[in-house]
């Protein structure tokens, strides 16, 4: 069975479902909302290519839609990485976004639990994430869930123009 085919229902009636290519037309506007909130550069062609890899290659990670009554309430992207520091493969929670209409009921916390379950199922020992320094609300959610900040800076070198 393809790990990207799985889905899980939480106690609040939300479904965590693997995204497919057919979901992209309704997912793209949600991604765009996240990118606007986080002030990230929007490059839809590059994003679509990356989404296709994520959907088609279970070794790359997982893309889950958070659905309620078949409507998108949010999504998360879990990437798989490798680090000697973490003893091998680890998870990177690349994106987690809950639409404003679905906030305030603990959905982000339930999504984190789903991400952690996926990581354990994959045999990963660590899960990392990025959060903007100015996003105190998200930092609070992650800290209450047991995530610890490290005194390091992420640095990026773009290899392709």
Q: Is the dihedral of CA 111, 117, 121, 125 positive or negative?
A: positive
At residue 161, the pLDDT reads 61
pLDDT at 30 over 50: yes
Task: Locate 105 and state its tokens.
Answer: 């009921």
Tell which residue, 84, 77, 86, has the closest CA to residue 126: 86
CATH superfamily for domain 3-144: Gcn5-related N-acetyltransferase (GNAT) (3.40.630.30)
Q: Considering the chain, what percentage of its residues have pLDDT values greater than 70?
A: 93
Asked if 80 and 104 touch (Cβ cutoff 8 Å), the reply is no
Instruction: Using alpha carbons, list the distances in angstroms from residue 12 to 102, 104, 106, 111, 140.
Output: 11, 12, 9, 11, 21
Domain residue extents for the chain: 3-144
Q: How confident is the model over 92-140, as pLDDT tens digits?
A: 999 999 999 999 999 999 999 999 999 999 999 999 999 999 999 999 9
Q: Give the β-pairing of 71-83 and 7-9.
A: unpaired
Of the pLDDT bands very low, low, confident and very high (cuts 50, 70, 90), residue 11 is low
């Amino acid at each position: 069975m393809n790990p990207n085919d799985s889905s899980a229902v939480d106690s609040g009636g939300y479904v965590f479902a693997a995204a497919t290519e057919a979901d992209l037309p309704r997912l793209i506007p949600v991604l765009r909302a996240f990118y606007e909130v986080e002030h990230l550069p929007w490059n839809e062609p590059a994003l679509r290519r990356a989404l296709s890899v994520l959907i088609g290659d279970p070794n790359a990670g997982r893309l889950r839609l958070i659905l309620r009554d078949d409507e998108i309430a949010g999504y998360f992207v879990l990437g798989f990485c490798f680090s000697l520091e973490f003893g091998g493969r680890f998870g990177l929670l690349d994106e987690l976004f809950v639409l404003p209409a679905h906030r305030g009921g603990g959905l982000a916390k339930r999504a984190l639990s789903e991400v952690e379950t996926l990581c354990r199922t994959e045999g990963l020992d660590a899960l990392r994430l990025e959060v903007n320094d100015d996003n105190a609300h998200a930092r609070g959610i992650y800290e209450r869930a047991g995530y610890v900040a490290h005194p390091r800076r992420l640095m990026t070198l773009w290899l392709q123009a």
